Amino acid sequence: MATAVSKQTITVQDEGVNVWDRVRLVLSYGVLFLLALSFFYPFLLAISTSFKPLPEIAQNPVSLIPETFTLEGYRQMQGLNVGRWMFNSAFVSVVITLGNVIFASMAGYALARIKFPGRNAVFLAILGTMMIPGIVLLIPMFIVLKQVNFIDSYAGLIIPKLATAFGVFLMKQFFESIPGEIEEASRIDGANRLQMFFRVVLPMARPALVALVIFSFQAAWNDFMFPLIVISVSQELYTLPLGLAVLRGGMGENLQWNAILAGSLVTTLPMALIFVFFQRYFIEGISYSGLKG
């Protein structure tokens, strides 16, 4: 009898624990859903507002469902040179991304595997540039670009961004995680340093390379401040973020919010799709940058 009572008590306790676990699980998912909604809501609001007329935006700016559906904002964009701006953004972003993949991987491999005097000092100097706010470098960079006649040119938009400190840091950290025995085996087979890099090490670094491609393309596609100082006269060289600044009124007055948000949607959509399909590489890139060096 006592044994039956004790078993029943244990069963009741187990059921109580299971109920509490389910409640905690539901509460956890509820909090996560609210957090996700708080991050996703501004994006939905931007999409909705791009289809609203200006009077409705002024009267009810936070409504997600337009009362009057209009393509007025997108029609205003047709009068601008958006196609050219998109081409410039794509061209500059692709070239910068390729440059980062080539130069950052080679520099990262040299710092990770080749022992030369001052290697640690060079790496610390590269890391030091990551600690300097980018806004501080704008004026010196403009002066240098003006001296070499790179203002208002593709060269000015591309060459200073062909290699980044973050890219070198990311690739160095990944290369150091590859066992050195693999290279030693290829060296015994007669491979030289370049053959080891291109045929053995680089194919193994595909996850880090994909992460570097995503980070580099995202940074170049969304960059506004650097093209702003490089392109001063020729609107034919505007990138998409810089060109969309034309949509605002003089001194910030009479803003055409539907047109601005329509342009913002055009700018954001490619990166949003890339993030959706390759989000795990963002996480892998962060994890590789935190590997022990």
Non-local (6+) Cβ contacts of 214 within 8 A are 274, 278, 281, 282, 285
Residue 55 lies in a domain: no
More confident residue, 66 or 147: 147
Q: If you ran DSSP here, which 8-state letter would residue 133 be given?
A: -
Q: Give the pair of three-digit tokens for residue 155.
A: 């060269």
Non-local (6+) Cβ contacts of 96 within 8 A are 158, 161, 162, 216, 217, 220
Q: Which residue has the tokens 């962060």?
A: 286
Report whether 56 contacts 68 (CB < 8 A): yes
Distance CA 56, CA 126 (A): 51
Distance CA 256, CA 200 (A): 54
* Top mean-pLDDT range of 133-137, 154-158, 178-182, 269-273: 154-158
* 95 and 232 co-located in one domain: yes
pLDDT band at 131 (very low <50, low <70, confident <90, very high): confident
- Split into its structural domains, the chain has a count of 2
Residue 266 lies in a domain: yes
For 10, 26, 152, 245, 250, the CA distances from 49, given in Å and listed in that order, are 57, 33, 34, 18, 21
* 29 and 103 co-located in one domain: no
Residue 21 lies in a domain: yes
| DSSP element (H, E) containing 152 | none
Residue 58 lies in a domain: no
Q: Is the pTM here over 0.95, yes or no? A: no
* 121 and 261 co-located in one domain: yes
Distance CA 160, CA 243 (A): 21
Distance of alpha carbon 139 from the chain centroid: 24
Residue 68 lies in a domain: no
* 216 and 141 co-located in one domain: yes
Q: Does the pLDDT value for residue 9 go beyond 70? A: no
Distance CA 271, CA 89 (A): 12
Residue 137 lies in a domain: yes
Tell me the per-residue pLDDT of 95-121, one tens digit each, with 9 for 90 and over: 999 999 999 999 998 888 888 888 889
Residue 48 lies in a domain: no
Report whether 100 contacts 216 (CB < 8 A): yes
* 27 and 87 co-located in one domain: no
* 13 and 142 co-located in one domain: no
* 111 and 243 co-located in one domain: yes
CATH number for position 260: 1.10.3720.10
* 117 and 253 co-located in one domain: yes
Distance CA 84, CA 244 (A): 12
Q: Which domain holds residue 18?
A: 2-41
**Mean pLDDT of the 238-255 span:** 70
Residue 167 lies in a domain: yes
* 31 and 83 co-located in one domain: no
* 182 and 275 co-located in one domain: yes
Q: What's the chain's length in residues?
A: 293
Report whether 184 contacts 190 (CB < 8 A): no
In SS3 terms, 168-209 reads as: HHHHHHHHHCCCHHHHHHHHHCCCCHHHHHHHHHHHHCHHHH
* 164 and 101 co-located in one domain: yes
